[in-house]
Amino acid sequence: MPETNRLYFVPLSEIRILRDEINDLFALAKILAPILRINILYMIKRAGSGHIGTSFSSVDLMLWLWLNAMNRPNENIPNSDTFFSSKGHDAPALYAVLTALEKLPFELIHKLRKLGGLPGHPDIHTPFIATNTGSLGMGISKAKGMAIANRLNGNRARIFVLTGDGELQEGQIWESLQGAANRNLSEIKVIVDLNGIQSDTLVSQTNNMSPLCKKFESFGWRGFVCNGHDFENIQECLNQMDKEEDRPQVLFARTRKGHGVPFMERVDDDGLYKFHSGAPSDANYPLALEHLVTKANDELAGISRPELKLAAEEPAVQPPVNTPARETVISAFGKALAELGRREEGLVVLDADLAVDCGLMPFKKEFPARFIECGIAEQDMVSVAGGLARKGKIPVVNSFACFLSARPNEQIYNNATEDSKIIYVGSLAGLCPAGPGHSHQSVRDISALRNTALSIVQPLNGIQARELLLWAAVENSKGSYIRIANTPVPEELANISMGKEIKPGWSTNLIPGHQALILSYGQTITYEAYRAVLSLKESGVEVALDHMNWLNLFDFGWIEKIVGPFPLIIVIEDHYRTGGLGGNLLPAIVEAIQYVPKFAIVGLEEVPACGRNDEVLKYHGLDAGSLIQKIKQLL
Amino acid sequence: MPETNRLYFVPLSEIRILRDEINDLFALAKILAPILRINILYMIKRAGSGHIGTSFSSVDLMLWLWLNAMNRPNENIPNSDTFFSSKGHDAPALYAVLTALEKLPFELIHKLRKLGGLPGHPDIHTPFIATNTGSLGMGISKAKGMAIANRLNGNRARIFVLTGDGELQEGQIWESLQGAANRNLSEIKVIVDLNGIQSDTLVSQTNNMSPLCKKFESFGWRGFVCNGHDFENIQECLNQMDKEEDRPQVLFARTRKGHGVPFMERVDDDGLYKFHSGAPSDANYPLALEHLVTKANDELAGISRPELKLAAEEPAVQPPVNTPARETVISAFGKALAELGRREEGLVVLDADLAVDCGLMPFKKEFPARFIECGIAEQDMVSVAGGLARKGKIPVVNSFACFLSARPNEQIYNNATEDSKIIYVGSLAGLCPAGPGHSHQSVRDISALRNTALSIVQPLNGIQARELLLWAAVENSKGSYIRIANTPVPEELANISMGKEIKPGWSTNLIPGHQALILSYGQTITYEAYRAVLSLKESGVEVALDHMNWLNLFDFGWIEKIVGPFPLIIVIEDHYRTGGLGGNLLPAIVEAIQYVPKFAIVGLEEVPACGRNDEVLKYHGLDAGSLIQKIKQLL
């Protein structure tokens, strides 16, 4: 067995020999299947994050499509078939296929979720990626657009769309189906990676969607079922599907999440599935590798070929991690939510299949009757909250900020017109973690929710998460949006409270100074600003740093007393430069003091890059080093 | 027959006698049915707008529910049943029922769509309205929230939700179904007003959704079918539905849109249905009234009662209409779109069942293959556009601004991350028409779309609509959002072009001046500003008025040359005060000239009121008179 402190992959040379020497594509696929999984495991372990379960369940389907089933896939020429994954978080599987088939430079397997490498979710700036996905449910609609465009150009090339089974909970899926049938778009072939497990647990435990085939057929589609790990069976079904001339088709490919590594195929005794996202632990990595290598070597032995020769890499050097506080913001929020549940009987918590990531497990365990799991159905969740509020409850609505601010944007406004007190909590807010890519980087939520009558607030640490939740639930008579960043809180910022008395529209001073006032929010960017300001202080530049919890609410007294005296205000956004704290604050300053000090906004100016947090912060000029330069220039 | 120049209704005194004297509720309902329609016709004719077709198709259902089927409806006490209409545009029918049953003061029938009266779509500030609707597809989700809240409070009162059949095209409907079944929410009873016609034409011609019952049953619901104009049949089905103890139920109530007035029940020879929205013409009003009065009197004669005594009102005095230009902005846009279609073969136009209102008929007629009717499915439409763009087409995506900016907000951003050139066109933008109410008043679209990489532009008149469409299609390499207001263009503003050479980020001067610069956009608010500035000029106050076509794009040269010299800048928003033109412009001014003149933003500060345009503009301080005062104060 290989050494455990190194990471192993199957090099292109080995794969090339197999591709050259094994003529039977079914035989080749069978041996490539574990090999691609070894490389997926490598990519995700090296990246430190990624979706392994779904990559393992879908890689056989992707392999077969690209190896044999499709006609000149994704070449962007007439009559070339198109493939993309609508769920998108299976990108490592697609990358493993594309690198093995030399559609992508093989070296990219070392650069998953790295700047300039392979993004966490599919992006068209990578060759052979047909469309951007990662936010769920858009795939069939996009396929319809592609098919209609093809038809206008006189061709009926096939469009293969891979979806998840949890993804089918999204309303857009069902919104998209009937039109495809009514237009007789038989070139659309949807393949459902039917692994039965979504982000947290079984689909059947989240929002059971069966009978799926009946559902699709009631929308005019033709349904097929196959074993998604059996290449002959997949091909048989694809052949049958091609005979359908006037209806789009859906293939329910029964798969196992984590397929190939037995301990990754199971839901745990606590009911949770542990391998949806995140890299395998140092303990699990060699065990998983061994399963896959054994499987590959068994397959090779079966066709009398020598054992695999693996290549090894040192684990990627991770940037130095500053001492993080023991408690993350999200875990503090989750504990506070459960505590609040004891006090406020009317509190009801809603989730859209992100209960673990959004810190909801303590509440769910303690108050199962007041925990409403909606599945991946954000619009439904928000309007359910609206109904609860109309009947006197206080709903707390959770999802990732990128989804929560956008997918149910109109539903949130509708609730706002009812003066409802609803607490929306958007996790994973801001530029980091930057590994998942732009579908998950929530950098426009402040502007998207600007006019929905919500107080938009963000904590700096766990203590403030608790303080703001209490404020939203008890003090604030209207709705709130609590924006939570899921990066570690550095020890230096971990113990700063908002004070005994919460003062809406006031900032908290972190570092005194007089040459300028820096305003930032959330631990991610504030820590960069914090280090920048301390470093400037060492060189004699005295700028103040304040943390701002209130992103669209400013006390005029605070503007007069704190902001007014400074000759220069610099707002540093964990958001696009426009429509964030700075964009909200500037008109308030003008209104409050009829005068504007020198004012600058530093923030994101383009679609955020994917990569390691430190790389991406630097790339966008938001790391401490870049901030030092910018502040100096502005002074 | 009554005089044709007056408007007739059945007074409460008449209704009261019938309610007191007819004990058989079926008999009472049969006679009330035409009576309520007379009052609906009156309300809508008097208001000058409203949805008559759907009010006539659904009024019998509502009447029966409130008259007999429900237990203490909407009383907001334990065990009282809840009713609301998810489609919401049938509000006149509900108002006719509630006024006839004296749940609402009868006098309100004279105040449909008037300030302080009955809003165009349901709003909870009206007694007995359970929730705000009007934006489609949210109803079943809301009912789930209400049912869960009730259960937490220990009761299982029934929740009746009325939906349209076109409304079933919305993805949220399907997103909401499975969870209701999985939670066994048998107290939820959805009634589909199955009139077979949506906004423009037949459901079957728009996006045929049949078989509906099979669809619902595949999501775990139990389906029933009745004649929605037959009270005995409705009650039979409701009785059967109440026997279902573990599944939510849907009742497909076959109805006729416009039922009661034969000429309102038909799709015209051109394939369009003409009575979805808008008041009947002066010619049609007496014809419709005659049908309904005859029907009522026949029913009365059948039970040996005297003929109806109608009451009459003069038609409501409409505010003086300034001479409007012959061409509306939307019709100019529509013609320009068809012209552009001849030049640009790649242009594809998408619609979500608002082809007539969005001016798309000329393009549709000339290029049927490049016109894609998506039905009421905005998320699908936007992602279809994304797929078209990925295959090289230039999609033009149309809907009302309120829906287009919000419902598919995430889908628009997803397309933006692909650098796609897509033209989004949001009609009905801004505060007016103010009759439909806040679900339709698009006053936060600029902020909601702020960070989606779109150039946000608005024309002042038809000429500029053409200029901006050409600019978006030919000059602009990226995506655009064209914001169109559907108010009449006054003659004074109708002929102002943006000039031979379009200069992005520059304004157009309408009135010269030096004491302040007023910036506004779109004909609605600009006309108020125009009159205010002219009036000020008469009293010797010289302020300049510029029209700004660019709402998030400012040339720094323009700021230096045009904005900089003024001592005071006043932006007047057809939008919430925050996140509109002013919120976008102020940071740009600070960046461009490092200096801020005195700067003020006038705009909406609360959820917009419903009413006549002139009333609502005044209510929010955005009419010429209020603007004069504000400008004087600021000078």
The model's pLDDT over A529-539, given as tens digits with 9 standing for 90+, comes to: 999 999 999 99
Look at residue A320 and tell me whether its pLDDT is greater than 70.
Answer: no
Contact, B545 vs B496, CB < 8 A? no
pLDDT band of residue B315 (cuts 50, 70, 90) is confident
What is the C-alpha separation between B509 and B565, in angstroms, rounded? 15
How are beta strands A517-520 and A188-194 bridged, if at all? unpaired
Per-residue pLDDT band for B321 (boundaries 50, 70, 90) equals: low
For A527, left (φ over 0), alpha (ψ -120 to 50), or beta?
alpha
Question: What is the structure's pLDDT at A622?
Answer: 98
Rounded to whole angstroms, the Cα distance separating A337 from A339 reads 5
Q: What is the mean pLDDT of chain A?
A: 96
Q: Do A141 and B384 touch (CB under 8 A)?
A: yes
Distance from CA of B385 to the nearest CA of A (A): 6
Which chain B residue lies closest to A204 (C-alpha atoms)?
B182
- Do B418 and A218 make contact, defined as CB atoms within 8 angstroms? no
Rounded to an integer, the average pLDDT of A315-319 is 71
Q: Which residues pair with B191 in a beta bridge?
A: B162, B251
CB contact under 8 A, A149 and B218: no
Mark yes or no for CB contact B579/A583 under 8 Å: yes
Cβ distance of B451 and A578 shorter than 8 Å: yes
Residues within 8 A of B (CB atoms), A 271-300 only: none
Question: Are the beta carbons of A222 and A181 closer than 8 angstroms?
Answer: no
Q: Which residue of B has its CA nearest to A605?
A: B451
A552·B578 Cβ contact <8 A: yes
Facing A148 at nearest CB: one of B173, B176, B388: B388
Question: Which tokens hold the place of B196?
Answer: 């077979």
Q: How far apart are CA B91 and CA B109, in angstroms?
A: 12
- Answer for the pair A578, A526: CB distance below 8 angstroms, yes or no: no
Question: How far is A235 from A423, CA to CA, in rounded Å?
Answer: 49
Instruction: State how far Cα A193 lies from the chain centre.
Output: 19
Block residue for tokens 């779904």: A54
pLDDT for A331-387, tens place per residue?
999 999 999 999 999 999 999 999 999 999 999 999 999 999 999 999 999 999 999
Q: Please tell me whether the peptide bond between A122 and the residue prior to it is cis, using omega within 30 degrees of 0.
A: no
Q: How far away is chain B from the Cα of A69, in angstroms, using its nearest Cα? A: 21
At B62 the pLDDT is 98
- Chain-centroid distance of CA B299 in Å reads 35
What's the pLDDT band for B552 if we cut at 50, 70, 90?
very high
Average pLDDT over residues A37-50: 97
Question: Tens digits of per-residue pLDDT, A96-133?
Answer: 999 999 999 999 999 999 999 999 999 999 999 999 99
Q: Number of helices and strands (H, E) in chain A?
A: 22, 18
pLDDT at A600 over 70: yes
Residue B218's closest chain A neighbor by CA? Answer: A215
C-beta atoms of B141 and A598 within 8 A: no
Confidence of residue B347 (pLDDT cuts 50, 70, 90): very high
- Quote the minimal CA–CA distance from B296 to chain A in Å: 38
Residues of chain B found within 8 Å of residue A174, distances taken between Cβ atoms: 171, 174-175
Residue A276 pLDDT > 90: yes
Are the C-beta atoms of residues A350 and A380 closer than 8 Å to each other?
Answer: no
Q: Is the pLDDT of residue A134 over 90?
A: yes
Nearest to A369, CA basis, from B196, B357, B150:
B150
Most B CBs within 10 A among A351, A451, A576, A598, hence the mutation to make, goes to: A451
The contacts of residue A51 (CB under 8 Å, 6+ apart) are A44, A89, A90, A91, A92, A276, A277
CB neighbourhood size of B148 (10 A): 25
Structure tokens at B202: 């037949």
Whether B513 and B478 have beta carbons less than 8 Å apart is answered as no
Longest dimension (CA), chain A: 83
- At A245-261, the pLDDT tens digits run 999 999 999 999 999 99
Find the mean pLDDT for residues A169-178. 98
Res. A596: pLDDT tops 70: yes
What would the pLDDT profile of A544-579 be if each residue is shown by its tens digit? Answer: 999 999 999 999 999 999 999 999 999 999 999 999
| A586:B584 CB<8 A | no
Interchain CB contact of A148 with B (< 8 Å): yes
If contacts are CB pairs under 8 Å, which of residues 171-200 in chain B contact chain A? 171-176, 178-179, 182
pLDDT at position A314, please? 84
For residue B241, give the nearest of B178, B169, B185, B174 by alpha carbon.
B185
Q: Tell me which chain A residues have a C-beta less than 8 angstroms from the C-beta of B379.
A: 137-138, 141, 171-172, 175
pLDDT at B2: 53
Check pLDDT > 60 for residue A321. no
What amino acid is encoded at B197 in this protein? I
**Is A547's Cβ below 8 Å from some Cβ in B?**
no
A170 vs B: CB within 8 A:
yes
**A594 to chain B: closest CA residue:** B598
- Per DSSP, the three-state class of B519 is strand
Measure A9 CA to nearest chain B CA, in Å: 32
Query: pLDDT band at B324, cuts 50/70/90?
Result: confident
CB-based contact A451 B576, cutoff 8 Å: yes
Q: What is the mean pLDDT of residues A155-173?
A: 97
Determine contact: A388 vs chain B, CB below 8 A. yes
Q: Does B583 touch chain A (CB under 8 A)?
A: yes
pLDDT in tens, B479-519: 999 999 999 999 999 999 999 899 999 999 999 999 999 99
Q: How far apart are CA B479 and CA A577, in angstroms?
A: 19
Contacts of B175 (CB under 8 A, 6+ apart): A169, A170, A171, A174, A377, A379, A380, B141
B chain contacts of residue A447, beta-carbon cutoff 8 Å: 447-448, 450-451, 579
Q: Do B123 and A417 touch (CB under 8 A)?
A: yes
Note which residues in 433-452 of chain A have CB less than 8 A from chain B. 438-439, 443-444, 447-448, 450-452
* Beta bridge pairs of residue A225: A252
Q: What is the mean pLDDT of chain B?
A: 96
Measured between CB atoms, does B407 come within 8 Å of chain A?
yes
Average pLDDT, integer, range A432-453: 97
- Model pLDDT, residue A2: 53
* Closest-approach residue (CA) in chain B for A379: B172
Does the beta-carbon distance from B587 to A583 stay under 8 Å?
Answer: yes
Residue of A nearest to B449 (CA): A448
* CB-CB under 8 Å, A578 with B596: no
Residues of B in contact with A84 (CB under 8 A): none
Give the pair of three-digit tokens for residue B601: 């933003």
Contacts for A294 with CB less than 8 Å, ≥ 6 apart: none
Q: A568 — contact with chain B (CB < 8 Å)?
A: no
For B553, which DSSP code? -
The confidence score (pLDDT) of residue A326 equals 79
Instruction: Tell me the shortest Cα–Cα distance from A280 to chain B, in angstroms.
Output: 30
Q: Quick one: pLDDT at residue A324?
A: 81
Q: Which amino acid is at B262?
A: P
Which pLDDT score is estimated for B76? 83
Interface of A with B in 87-146 (CB under 8 A): 123-124, 130-133, 135, 137-138, 141-146
| pLDDT-derived band at A86, boundaries 50, 70, 90 | very high
Residue owning tokens 């004990």:
B23
Chain A residues touching residue B594 (CB < 8 angstroms) = 598
Which of the four pLDDT bands, split at 50, 70 and 90, describes residue B156? very high
Per-residue pLDDT, B326: 79
Strand partners, B568: B598
**pLDDT at residue B97 tops 60:** yes
Question: Which 3 state secondary structure label does DSSP give A189?
Answer: strand
Minimal CA separation from A462 to chain B, in Å: 29
Instruction: Say if the Cβ atoms of A142 and B387 lie within 8 Å.
Output: yes
Residue A167 contacts B where some CB pair is shorter than 8 Å: no
**A173, closest residue in chain B (CA to CA):** B171
pLDDT (0 to 100) of residue B320: 61
Rounded to a whole number of angstroms, the distance from the CA of A439 to the nearest CA of chain B is 7
> What single string gives the DSSP state of each residue in A14-74?
HHHHHHHH---HHHHHHHHHHHHHHHHHHHHHHHT---HHHHHHHHHHHHHIIIIISSSTT
Q: How far apart are CA A353 and CA A373, in angstroms?
A: 7
Those residues whose C-beta lies under 8 Å from the C-beta of residue B590, and which sit 6 or more positions away, are A586, A596, A599, A600, B596
Using the Cβ of B367 and the Cβ atoms of chain A, whether some distance falls under 8 Å is answered with: no
**CB-based contact, B384 to chain A, within 8 Å:** yes
CA distance A590 to chain B (A): 7
CB contact under 8 A, B448 and A443: no
Judge if pTM exceeds 0.95.
yes
Q: H or E element: which one contains A338?
A: helix A329-343
B608: closest CA of chain A, how far (Å)? 9
Element (H, E) at B548: strand B544-548
Please report which helix (H) or strand (E) contains residue A574, including its range. strand A568-576
Burial of B443 (0-12, 13-18, 19+ CB in 10 A): buried
Tokens of B82: 């809840």
Q: Report pLDDT for A3.
A: 56
Q: Which residues of A206-225 are buried (b: 16+ CB within 10 A; e: fewer)?
A: bbbbeebbebbbbbbbbbbb
CA distances from B449 to A35, A343, B333, B396, B453 (A): 45, 39, 21, 16, 8
* DSSP of A465-516: HHHHHHIIIII-SS-EEEE---SPPBGGGTT----SS--TT-EEEEE--SS-
Nearest to B145 among A173, A383, A402 (CB): A383
Which residue from B145, B207, B583 is facing A388, i.e. has the nearest CB?
A: B145
Strand, helix or coil for residue A249? strand
Burial (CB < 10 A; 0-12, 13-18, 19+), residue B145, is buried
